[in-house]
Structure 1
Amino acid sequence: MPHRPVLLALASALAIGLVGCASPSNESASPSIDGVGEPAWVQDATVYEVFVPDASAEGTFQGLIGRLDEIQAMGVNTLWLMPIHPIGEKRRKSDIGALGSPYSIRDYYDVNPDYGTKEDFRALVDSVHARDMHIIIDLVANHTAWDHPWLDEHPDMYSDGPINGFTVPVLNGDTTNWTDVVELDFENPRTRQEMIDVMQYWVREFNIDGYRADVAHAVPLDFWENAIDSVEARKEVLMLAEAAGPEMHEVGFDQTYAWPFYGALKRVWEEDAPVRTLATQVDTTLANLPEAARRLRFTTNHDETMWDAPPPALFDGLEGSTAAFVLATSMPGAPLVYNGQELGVTDSVSFFARTPYDWSQTPDVRRFYRDYLRLYGDSPALRTGALTVHTPDAEDVLVYERATDTDSLLVAVNVRDASCEVALPDGYADAPLTDALTGASVEGATMTLEAYDYRVLRRATAE
């Protein structure tokens, strides 16, 4: 399958202040791989990650149904629900939060009673589909809770190890982080078939639209290939891997995480790394992905908000966090919003405990996410357009174009806390332009970007 066109245009770099110094850190390059199949709607997916206890006042499936119109109005068309299953009691990490980790699964075939019943979940899926939206759920295939019935009934399904004869997953070489779960052994055929049965169950019985595979890189690739083929024999689904390697697409995943880009984005803010490193990241990555593959682009998710910090804390306040979001999600891929992000949350939020939100607060921040994500959904250029970077040597402002045959957008993002003058590239300086977010007309060969400012400009393209 042909690769997505990515052009690093050799236009003149902008001469602006606040020069930062850092070496580019590229996403690992791999040999080109064959294309992947996917449902047509995946190319247009705007993903909203949901932790059910936090996503509504009630903290339930029914409460989430009550927020669907609001979520859809924000420009979202795909929900990803963090694990919906009962949480293990044995070895629960209650010292971190009373709920324990939702990634410690006690029963793959049931729902957490705190969230509601299976019929409540079915009503949620039906309500999502009635709005022409889609819903995927977390699949935790690598490990279970210590009180999952499999551990007593089929201990051979688990990896041997030093903790009561079993193994806990290793995180960055450390075995003390995930002590509330026990690792499954995918060398055992029973383990593989049981997990495939789980995947088939929720698609068959509840008509969900796919899975986000937790720690997908820790599970053998050949399992994923067989499992995805098995599920898609019934229905085409969206498969999102919590992994960054191109090899995940080779076995059937539609989306992978843009982790290296996220790391580079933080270095631009925290270390004054030159903004051109982001263009390098994207160029290197996309050159090694099949055309249909999508990177999930984000400035936070449940892990980052809990273990790192929410966007305003990472990107120098609300203004910096919105600039970072525009920069990340206007690159080729699929945008992700984590519930509460649209409120401009400034404190770390744990998914081991419930954090009720006032969904009416910070209207200006909510308006930004609504306006931008609606633009994304309405713009073929942002969703699927070719990328041309006009400032490949830039230190502080990245200027780039996303374009299809019928839609063309110029994006300029200032990543520094100082204003600057930006020269429009050829083809835009002498063309009638409109600010795609405000509708205002833009004239002249230059424009001023204030600190952490951004512009998304539309130029008419002949059909």
Structure 2
Amino acid sequence: MKQPQENYLWWQGGIIYQIYPRSFQDSTGDGVGDLRGIIQRLDYLQWLGVTAIWLSPIYPSPMADFGYDIADYVGIDPLFGTEEDFSALVQEIHRRDMKLVMDLVPNHTSDQHPWFLESRSSRTNPKRDWYLWHEGRADGSFPNNWLSVFGGSAWEWDSATEQYYYHAFLKEQPDLNWRNPEVQEAMFDVMRYWLDRGVDGFRVDVMWHMIKDKQLRDNPANPAYESYMATYEKLLPTYSTDQPEVHDIVQKMRSVLDEYDHRMMIGEIYLPIHKLVVYYGVDNKGAHLPFNFLLLSLPWEPQKIAAAIDEYEGAIPAGGWPNWVLGNHDQPRISSRIGIQQARVAALLLLTLRGTPTIYYGDEIGMHDVPIPFEEVQDPQGLNMPDKNLSRDPARTPMQWEPTPQSGFTTARPWLRIARSAPRQNVQTQQQDDHSMLSFYKRLIALRQAEPSLMYGNYIPVYSDNQIFVYIRHQEGSDRLLVVLNLSHRPCYFNPPNLRIQGTVVLATHIEIEGSRVEDSLSLYGDEGMLIRLDPEQTNA
């Protein structure tokens, strides 16, 4: 018997789809995606089976970091549309019984934000303490050795007031002082503004950066640093990130969300598992979903992935809900990391693990990183460290909709070049091909949303070796589903001594075997994965 859906919240049984607005759909012919363009494509997302959309920043911004440098937290940048366009987007998303999660960037503002303009106007301005201003050392050097994620020192000298201000990212992105209660209340009011407009939740950018060491102690050297790494990684951010007081802030943000019904908060947190799970908060009153980036960083090796999943499952506090991510706007695409064939196996992994999955736009059609000539690079991370190949542009290229000029994304020159494979690799073409990546995603999402065992069931590890990874998902009263993944390019065999495999293949990376019976053992092709509905009489696992 299916467990009642009402026992779970929308974000627990849902599938989140990240849209990078600049690259999804242009409706105005300026080469940049916008809100009206997203509205035009909502029917596609509903067809795909997506239940929630996470929208990267659309606020007014000088675009030094493409919207993550916010000049007004309660507006819409004209590049993306109008206030009316946003209201229409919320209405159209909700009309399709979908949810909207907005990006919230509380760690820093643009240096053009009125708060910072006031703060830097004089040392005595009432908003001076809204940002992190400090004297240099006795010799006039930086207050400490903290580094910017985008290269160089994280301190910028202001000649007018003769102090340094701190910026974890670009100098155009000064960090707010979250120890200041006025900053806290101002940001909580921002949250309420968008919640009042119907937003269903927030993805909180760089949540673990929000509080810094009060003593400004130097960060220690990173003994594992290699020359190919970003310069930021020369030091361990021991004192500039993940301070104990940040959890009080997260709990206060959660309290704001709890003023409303059924709203949620995702935290962007690049930390080891034992530190990540602390962001669930005491009694799960922190972030609903501290983003779990294990599948972004782990080597694509079955035993390492299996061990990490076990560690994560064991570390989640009672009542906490897991989540999984294969890609986002800051990381190389999954197809480029592990290859297009393994990307299907990865999709099967993502959408059958316990917890909420997040899909990055275009991964469902197998989009890959596109080489961007240096003279066309837009990303500040790539421009500041060109010799390290750290530009994020290749994973942010326009969505490939149809086999037409500019792939149906725009009628103009797009802000980033489109993949040359787009005439063959696009939504329209793949919708007509049962063997395509998109058709596989469509079937996989539909199956996940129809099976209580996949949406809410337990995760039961079965087996892993140097090629294969196997587990069971099971919800009491529902079928046992066996997931078998070959994470290598070579054939492999699965014949476990402690499990009789009798059942039917209900979904596979190779559609030809769907519906076939399985008895006792399996022989898998390279890059093959399958989901097997075990016969009801099987109880040993």
TM-score (norm 2): 0.69
Q: 197, 208, 217: which is aligned to 2:189? A: 197
Report the Cα offset of residue 203 of structure 1.
Answer: 0.3
Q: 280, 294, 300: which is aligned to 1:260? A: 294
Distance in 1 (alpha carbons) for counterparts of 2:256 and 2:280: 16
Report the Cα offset of residue 174 of structure 1.
Answer: 5.4
Report the Cα offset of residue 423 of structure 1.
Answer: 2.0
Cα-to-partner distance string for 1:79-116 (whole Å, 9 max, x where unaligned):
00001101126xx3xxxxxxx42111110010111111
Q: Name which of structure 1's ranges 134-143 and 328-337 shifts more when overlaid on structure 2.
A: 328-337
Q: 375, 379, 393: which is aligned to 2:451? A: 379
Report the Cα offset of residue 428 of structure 1.
Answer: 4.5
Distance in 2 (alpha carbons) for counterparts of 1:460 and 1:73: 31
C-alpha contact 2:351 2:445 (8 A) present in aligned 1? no
Report the Cα offset of residue 57 of structure 1.
Answer: 3.6
- Answering whether residue 231 of structure 2 is matched by residue 160 of structure 1, we say no
C-alpha contact 1:261 1:282 (8 A) present in aligned 2? no
Cα-to-partner distance string for 1:379-426 (whole Å, 9 max, x where unaligned):
22122211112215x221011101111132100100111112222675
Q: 250, 254, 257: which is aligned to 1:224? A: 250
- Counterpart for residue 126 of structure 1: 91
Distance in 1 (alpha carbons) for counterparts of 2:267 and 2:176: 18
- Counterpart for residue 78 of structure 2: 113
- Pairing 1:47-86 to 2, within 5 Å after superposition: 47-58=16-27, 59-86=33-60
- Counterpart for residue 322 of structure 1: 344
Cα-to-partner distance string for 1:273-294 (whole Å, 9 max, x where unaligned):
4x12212111112212134423
- Answering whether residue 469 of structure 2 is matched by residue 398 of structure 1, we say yes
Report the Cα offset of residue 461 of structure 1.
Answer: 4.2
Mark the runs of 5 or more structure 2 residues left unpaired by the alignment. Answer: 1-6, 28-32, 119-126, 155-168, 211-245, 380-392, 403-425, 431-435
Distance in 2 (alpha carbons) for counterparts of 1:147 and 1:81: 23
- Answering whether residue 491 of structure 2 is matched by residue 419 of structure 1, we say yes
- Counterpart for residue 247 of structure 1: 278
Report the Cα offset of residue 440 of structure 1.
Answer: 0.8
Structure with the larger RCO, 1 or 2 (CA within 8 Å, 6+ apart): 1
Mark the runs of 5 or more structure 1 residues left unpaired by the alignment. Answer: 1-37, 93-99
State the one-letter code of the partner of 1:376: R
Report the Cα offset of residue 238 of structure 1.
Answer: 1.4
Cα-to-partner distance string for 1:265-308 (whole Å, 9 max, x where unaligned):
xx13xxxx4x122121111122121344233312211110xxxx
- Pairing 1:140-219 to 2, within 5 Å after superposition: 140-153=105-118, 154-161=127-134, 170-171=148-149, 175=153, 177-204=169-196, 206-219=197-210
Larger radius of gyration: 2
The root-mean-square deviation of aligned C-alpha atoms, in Å, is 2.7
Q: Name which of structure 1's ranges 213-222 and 255-264 shifts more when overlaid on structure 2.
A: 255-264
- Answering whether residue 104 of structure 2 is matched by residue 104 of structure 1, we say no
Cα-to-partner distance string for 1:246-267 (whole Å, 9 max, x where unaligned):
1111142111222234322xx1
**For 1:86, what is the secondary structure of its paired residue?**
coil
- Answering whether residue 358 of structure 2 is matched by residue 358 of structure 1, we say no
State the one-letter code of the partner of 1:287: G
Report the Cα offset of residue 169 of structure 1.
Answer: 7.7
Distance in 1 (alpha carbons) for counterparts of 2:444 and 2:280: 28
Aligned-pair identity (%): 26
C-alpha contact 1:409 1:459 (8 A) present in aligned 2? yes
Distance in 2 (alpha carbons) for counterparts of 1:191 and 1:447: 59
State the one-letter code of the partner of 1:403: H
**For 2:485, what is the secondary structure of its paired residue?**
strand
C-alpha contact 2:351 2:357 (8 A) present in aligned 1? yes
Distance in 1 (alpha carbons) for counterparts of 2:184 and 2:152: 26
C-alpha contact 1:85 1:108 (8 A) present in aligned 2? yes
Distance in 2 (alpha carbons) for counterparts of 1:281 and 1:314: 19
- Counterpart for residue 222 of structure 2: none
Cα-to-partner distance string for 1:292-334 (whole Å, 9 max, x where unaligned):
4233312211110xxxx2212210x210111123224422221
TM-score (norm 1): 0.80
Residues 225, 39 of structure 1: alpha-carbon distance in 2 compared, 3 angstrom cutoff: farther
Distance in 2 (alpha carbons) for counterparts of 1:103 and 1:234: 26
Report the Cα offset of residue 234 of structure 1.
Answer: 2.6
Q: 498, 504, 507: which is aligned to 1:433? A: 504
Distance in 1 (alpha carbons) for counterparts of 2:459 and 2:288: 20
C-alpha contact 2:23 2:398 (8 A) present in aligned 1? yes
- Pairing 1:28-43 to 2, within 5 Å after superposition: 40-43=9-12
Q: Name which of structure 1's ranges 79-88 and 150-159 shifts more when overlaid on structure 2.
A: 150-159
State the one-letter code of the partner of 2:254: I
- Counterpart for residue 15 of structure 1: none
Distance in 2 (alpha carbons) for counterparts of 1:143 and 1:56: 28
Residues 210, 175 of structure 1: alpha-carbon distance in 2 compared, 3 angstrom cutoff: farther
